[in-house]
Amino acid sequence: MNPTAKLLNDDPISGFITVFIDGKQYTINASNPAFPNALKAYKDSDWQGLVDYINPANKLQRLYFQYENIEVKDGNVYIDGDAVTSIVAERVLNALAGDVDAVHIFKFMTRLQLNPSKRAVDELYTFLEHKHLPITDSGTFLAYKAVRSDFSDKYSGTFFNTVGSVLSMPRNKVDDNKEVGCSYGFHAGTLEYASDFASESDKLVLVEIDPADVVSIPTDCNFQKLRTCRYKVVAEYEKPLVEDKYTSNFETENDAYVEGKWQPRTYEILTVDDEEYYLDAERCDDCECIIDDCECPRCNECACVDMNLSDNILCEDCESKTEVQLTLDLDGTILDDWKTKRFNYINMLAFLYGHQRPAVANALKNFYKDIDDQHKINPEFVILLQFTSEDDVFKIYQEYSKL
């Protein structure tokens, strides 16, 4: 990065930071929850960190590139092709601002999509607007419930809510009409709701719920309670929940699916003409070869292996990359016909995976999945416009051409 940073005002209430890095302007206001971290990054000259706090999409893409079901495009985050809602996006941004891993929030979304009721899915987002309802590391969430002094339910006294108990009923027995306040189903909610509902001799318990089991969010009580068909009592109430993430204590039938879906991607090895492309390996800056794997005299750290090379001769890989660099103008600008430049499909796959662009790599790979001789494919860069924005393709071209 080539920063030209200027701190205009670092007042924690009304201040803001504006910086120019690589010709682009970035600004963050004091009202942004990431402002304290951004200010610290500025004072530490941590320019990458500063850009990450100002533009969280950069950090998301770098942190979660190994999950193929996450895509960051045009400043938005997509999970399995669906843009996250503003409420979930706010939780993600708050997590990143606090340097908290946001995968648990993505797991929550996966569980929510397993809910058979679209109405319940839409309504649950309104419930999550209330604070102090953390999402656990497995994607479930925590809420409060008022019970009698003997831990039986307030309404019938027949359901006992001792710590460790899992209570369930058929989903179709739970009232799914949000306009009806008190009705059939297990109720839980915010601390305010549970406290107001409890009498002096009652107890409050903490319950864990799978978003897939939520049936409705009644409109009374300002959307502070819900009805569900299943939950687990995990603790007696001691103090309000204030953290963004807690450890799950609830085993559900959806655990295996959710955990399997959010396992970090392990990259495969492509073998073409007896040459292996390790897609997740670190590659040198002068060519696409693997660091710590060769004796190339140009960079002395790539996999252009030729033990007979002299110090004044370039290996074939580095020599070919030098020819590519000659397509740049002397002032570093790209020629107008960059879209028509061609690349080797296999090399591009290795580049995309190695440079944290798995979404584009997966789309390109799927596009050519039915071609037998894939190592002979040499498309133009314009093909990538089908999978991402023109600005992103231009960046890919610039980075790829420097190899």
Q: Model confidence over 49-79: pLDDT tens digits?
A: 888 888 777 777 767 766 777 877 766 778 8
3-state secondary structure of 125: helix
- What is the model's pLDDT at position 20? 78
246 DSSP β-pair partners:
136
- What is the model's pLDDT at position 6? 56
User: For residue 25, what is the DSSP state?
Assistant: E
Torsion sign over Cα 61, 49, 47, 267: negative
Q: Quick one: how far is CA 382 from the chain centroid?
A: 28
- What is the model's pLDDT at position 148? 95
- What is the model's pLDDT at position 75? 63
CA count, 13 A, side-chain hemisphere, 384 = 30
d(CA 10, CA 20): 16
Q: Check if the beta carbon of residue 364 is closer than 8 Å to that of residue 349.
A: yes
204 backbone dihedrals φ, ψ, rounded to 5°: -115, 135
Give the residues of the chain that fall short of pLDDT 50.
Answer: 267-283, 285-288, 290-295, 297-314, 318-335
d(CA 297, CA 314): 7
- What is the model's pLDDT at position 202? 93
Determine the residue type at 152. Answer: S
DSSP code string of 126-137: HHTTSSS-PEET
Terminal CA-CA length for the chain: 18
Q: What residue spans define the domains of the chain?
A: 1-54, 118-261, 269-401
- What is the model's pLDDT at position 10? 56
DSSP code string of 211-236: GGGEEE--SGGGG-EEEESEEEEEEE
CB-based contacts of 67: which residues, under 8 Å, 6+ apart?
103, 106, 262, 264, 265, 358
pTM: 0.59
Q: Report CA dihedral (189, 194, 197, 199) to the nearest 10 degrees.
A: 160
